[in-house]
A and B are shown apart, each in its own frame.
Chain A
Amino acid sequence: MGVFDPIIELSKGLGETLRSFLFEKTVTYQYPEEKRPVRPRYRGRHVLKRYDNGLEKCIGCSLCAAACPADAIFVESAENTDEKRFSPGQRYASTYEINMLRCIYCGFCEDACPTEAIVLGDNYELSFTDRRQAIYPKEMLLEPVATVEMTTPRKVDAGVFTRSVPEMQNPSD
C-alpha cells in the first residue's frame, strides 16, 4: 500500500459527500411541521367505517377480537331496534375497544372483518400519558359523520335495515 492511498480514498469519500450536497434533493422531513405521506397499504391506527348513510358497518361479531394475535380488541354486542339503530341488521357493537399498546398493527382484524368495518388507517401519531389512555373506545375509533342526521344511534323507518351482512354477490370471474 502506497503512502498516498489513504488520502485518495478519503478524498473519494468526501467527493461523494460533496456531490450529494450539491446535486441531490434533500430527503429529511421537518416533522411535525412537514408530514411524510404514507403508502396506500400502510397499517396505522384503526378506524371503524360507516356506510354512506351513516350507519356503522360494525355488527359486533367479535371476529376481529378472535383473529387478534395480541388480544388487543374487546367487543360486546347488543341488539338494534328501529328506534335506536346503530348498524343494519339485528346486532351492533355496544362496546368496542382497542388497546393500542397491545396492538401490533398486523391487520388481521381487517382481514377477519365480514363487513369491512375495521380498517387500519394512515394515522401513526399515537401518544398517551398513561396506560388507560391507550385503550381507544368506540367513540374514538368511529369515523366522523358529515351531517347531524347521519349520527348513530338514530331512528329509522321500520323494516328497512334487516340484514347485518351485506347481500352476497355471485363470484364475478
Chain B
Amino acid sequence: MTKQVTLSINGITVTVPDGTLIADAAKMAGIDIPVFCHHPKLEPVGMCRMCLVEVGRPMLDRATGQVVMENGQPKIQFMPKLETACTNRVSDGMVVMTTTDKALDGQKGTVEFLLTSHPLDCPVCDKGGECPLQNLTMAFGPGQSRFIYDEKAHFEKQVPLGDLIWLDRERCIQCARCIRFQDEVAGEAVLGFDERGRNTQIISLSEPGFDSVFSGNTTDICPVGALTTADFRFGARPWELKAQASICTQCPVGCNTTLNTRREAKAGGDIVVKRVMPRQNEEVNEIWLCDKGRFTYHFTESKKRLTRPLVRKEDKLARASWDAATKLAAENFAKSKKDFVVLASGRLANEDLFNLKSLADTAGGTTILYSNMGGGDLTALVGVGQGTNIGKMGKGDAILVVASDLYQEAPIWWLRVKQAADRGATLIVANARETKLDKFAKFVIRYAQGDESKAVNNLSNKGKIADEFAKAKNAIVFYGNDGLSLSDTASLSSACATLLKETDHAGRPNNGLVAVWERVNDQGAWEIGFRPEPDLEKALKGKVVYIAGADPVGDDPALAKALKGAKFVAVQDILETATTEVADVVFPAQAYTEREGTFTSGERRVQRFYAAVPVKGDAKPDYAITAQVAKQMGVILEGSSASVVFDILSNSLEAFTDLSYDKLAETHGQWPIVGRGDLYYGGTTYENTQGLGVQLVPTAQAGGTVRIPKVRKEAALRPKENELLAVPVTKLYDHGVTVSSSAALLGQWVGEPTVTLHPMAAKNLGVEAGARVKISLNGVNAEVVVKIDDTISAGVALVPRSMGIAIREPVVARVLLAGKVK
C-alpha cells in the first residue's frame, strides 16, 4: 500500500496517498479548486494557472533537518507567491488555503485574463450550459473586465478539424487537454499547437484531419466550446436534454453510455436521441467512448425501420396484425418438429436470446448463433475473474493479444490495453500482420497465416516471451478472429485457455481469457446456450427458420441461396434487410433505445440498458415477440416484462445466479468525479447513477473443475504459389446497417471496399495502390480498391468483413484485372 500523507486544506484535515496532487486531494475532500488544464486522467502541466492557491509547508531547521516548532505546533512557512494546485504534490503537514483573499484574487485575475480573448458568444455555443469556463467565470471571475473589448483576438469562426469535430479557435484557452488526451491516453498524437502568443491555435497534424477514433472524447474534456461535434452542432441546448442510461451496442466492450433525448419539431414532434455521451464506469470504459459508439446511433431512427408486422401474400409482403403474423409463424414452427431452426445473433439482449432458446428447446428445434467465432464456452470456464479492471493493470502484469486488431474491433479495449502497457504491463501482440497495437508492445510475435494456435502453444514452452508471460502477476489473453475461420478460433481459444491454465492465470481478477467478439452480446448468447454452426448453409436448407437480429441474405449469397431452399422463414429485426425481403413473416422489433434489457460484455459483465425514446410504430421487444409466437404454439413464456424474463433466466442459468435488475442497477462512488456540477474537473461525461453492472464469475474462480477440451486444429488453408488466400479482417467503420445510417456524418471514414495486397503480389498482378480491380471469391465478383501492406504475407490478401464482399473464412480468391482501369 502506498504511503498516506496527511495535510490540511482550508482547515480540514485530509489524508490521501503520497504523490497525490493538491487539486485532486482537495477534490477528494469535497473542496473545489477551479481548474481548466488539469484533468485527473492526464499528466499535470500547469498551463492555465487557474488553480492558484496558498501553500505552506512545515519549516525545517537547516542545521538539524527537524521541523521547527512554535507553541507546540509546527511552524508553517508560506511561499511568498501563489502556487498551482495541479502541479504540486501533497506532503506531510502541508497547509493549503484555497479561499484566502490572496488566492481568490489570483484566481479572479486568471479568469479575467483568460477572457481577454474569449468571444463570449455563449448564446450560439454548443457548450453553453455545460461549460466549465462559464461556470468558473460565474464562481470565481471578476464580474467586470478591465480589458478593452475591441482588442479581443479574432479568428475565423468554427472550422472543421476533421469530419466529426469542429474547432473554434477564438474560444480556445490553450489548456491543451485535447492535445494531451491524444498523446497520453489515445496514443495518437494528431493534434498540436501552431503559432505563438495570442495567435496560438490548435491544428490537426494528420491527413485526413483528426485521424483518430477517439476524437469525440476531446469534446467532453474541452473546458470551453472550442471543440464541438459535427453531429450535435446546434442540435439543442444541454439543459433541454433528458438523460437515460444505455449500453453501446457496437462492440463487445459494452461501454456505458447516456442517451440525451429531446422532443424535436424536425423529427415531426417525436422524442429523439440527440447525442450519445459516455457514462462513467471505471472498470469498463472509464470516462471514454469511441467515435463509432458516439456517432452511429442514427440507425435507430432510420427510415428503414420496421414498424408493422408483415406477412407474405401472393409473393409480396403485406401488413398484418400481430395476431395473424404470430399465428402463421407459430403454425409453421409447430408442424416442423425437428426442422425448426432458430438463428439469432449477439445483437439481441440476454432476455431475447433466453426466450428464443426456451422456445426452441420446448418445440424440439435447434438454436444457432450467427457468428464466425468460437470459444465462448472457454471464456465461461477461464474468463477474466470477477473484479477485473484493465485500468488497474500495470508493472508486473502481462497482456497477450492474439489474432485481433483491437483498434478496429474494440477501440476502448485497445485504449485500455495500450494504457496498461504505458503503465509497465508486458504487452505481447501476436498476429499475422502488423496492427496499430504493435508499437506499444514489448514483444511482437508474427506468425504465418494459419499458425495462430501454434504461436500460442509455443508460449507454453521455454523462451523469453513465454517466461515473462508465465511469471507475470496477472495475465489476460485477448483473442479475436483476425483472418480466421470459425474452426480456427475454436482451436485458438482452446490454445489460449490451455496457456492460461498452465501458467496459473485463471480464476482470479485481472486474469483470464477475453474473446473479442463480433457483436455486443455474443458472450451472452454463449452463456445462454447458443453455439455457432460451421456449416450454416446445410443447417438452413430445407428447414423452418426463425431468424432474429441477423441478415444472412445480405451478408453472403451462399446463405441467401440456402434460405431460398428453406421451407419457411420468419425474420425478426429492427430494420429492413435483404433477409426481411425473402421472409414469409416479418416481426418488427424495438431498438435498444426503446426498451429495457441487459447485455453481457466480452469481459462477462452483465449490464442494463433502459428505454430512452418512445417505441416506433407497433414494434415490440424481441423477447415479447418470441413469447407471443410461443403462446400461439401453446408454450408459455414471459413476455410482458424484461426484468421478469431476467429473473427466470437467472434462476435457470448457473452463471447468472442471484442476479436481478436491482443488483445490476447498483452503483458505488467512482474516482475521478465527473459530470454533476463538477464539469470543470472531469469533463461532461455522465456520472453513473443507473448501474455499473455485475461481472459473472468464471468456473475457475467459482472453484469448479476446469477441463479444457482439446480442439483439433484443422489443416489451415495455406496460400500456394500463384494463388491468393483472401482472409477476413474487421474494419471499424464498415458497410453494416448501423454504420451506413450515419454514413453522411462519418464521410470518408467509411470508404469503399478494399483488398490489401503485399507489394510483391501487387507487382505480380501489375496493380498499384488505389487501383480498382475485381476480386472473385466463392464464385462472386466484387469491385474493390487495392491497398498495399508490406507486413502481410505475399500470398495473403486482406478483405474487410461487412464491406459488401461475402467472406466468412479464409478462401482462395482471384484478382481479375479485366476491370482494373475505370
Contact = CB atoms under 8 A, between A and B. Distances in A.
Contacts of B315: none
Interface string A12-29: 000000000000000000
B149 interface: yes
A5 B587 CA distance: 93
A170 interface: yes
A102 interface: no
Size bracket, chain A contacts: 20 to 34
Contact of B124 (A94, A97, A164, A171): A164
Nearest to A74: B265
Nearest to A162: B157
Contacts of B618: none
Interface stretch (A32-40, A42-50, A59-67, A126-134): A59-67
B157 A95 contact: no
A89 interface: yes
B124 A59 contact: yes
B201 to A, nearest CB: 17
Given A76-B265, A91-B124, A162-B157, A62 B237 contact: yes
B266 interface: yes
A90 B124 contact: yes
Contacts of B144: 171
A29 to B, nearest CB: 40
A3 B265 CA distance: 77
A78 interface: yes
A95 B123 contact: no
Given A91-B234, A162-B156, A169-B149, A63 B124 contact: no
A114 interface: yes
A77 interface: yes
Contacts of B128: 61
Interface in B187-245: 233-234, 236-237, 239-240
Contact of B239 (A66, A95, A163): A66
A60 B234 contact: yes
B117 to A, nearest CB: 13
B233 A89 contact: no
Given A170-B148, A170-B149, A170-B150, A63 B123 contact: yes
Interface in B261-280: 264-266
A66 B237 CA distance: 9
Interface in B244-291: 264-266
Interface residues of B, number: 21
B146 to A, nearest CB: 11
B158 interface: yes
B644 interface: no
Contact of B266 (A76, A162, A171): A76
B149 to A, nearest CB: 5
A90 B123 contact: no
Contacts of B233: 79
B266 A90 contact: no
Of B157, B237, B239, chain A has the most CB atoms within 10 Å of the CB of B237
A78 B234 contact: yes
B234 A165 contact: no
Given A76-B265, A114-B123, A163-B157, A168 B234 contact: no
Most A C-beta atoms less than 10 A away, residue of B120, B121, B156, B157? B121
A59 B124 CA distance: 7
A58 B96 CA distance: 47
A171 to B, nearest CB: 8
Nearest to B264: A76
A77 B234 contact: yes
Contacts of A97: 265
Contacts of A62: 236-237, 240
Contact of B121 (A63, A74, A163): A163
A61 B237 contact: yes
Interface string A53-93: 00000011111011000000010111100000000011100
Contact of A90 (B120, B148, B157, B239): B157
Contacts of A90: 124, 157-158, 234
Contacts of B123: 59, 61, 63, 114-115, 164-165
Contact of A95 (B121, B148, B156, B266): B266
Given A66-B240, A164-B123, A164-B124, 5 more contacts: A61-B124, A63-B123, A66-B239, A165-B121, A168-B120
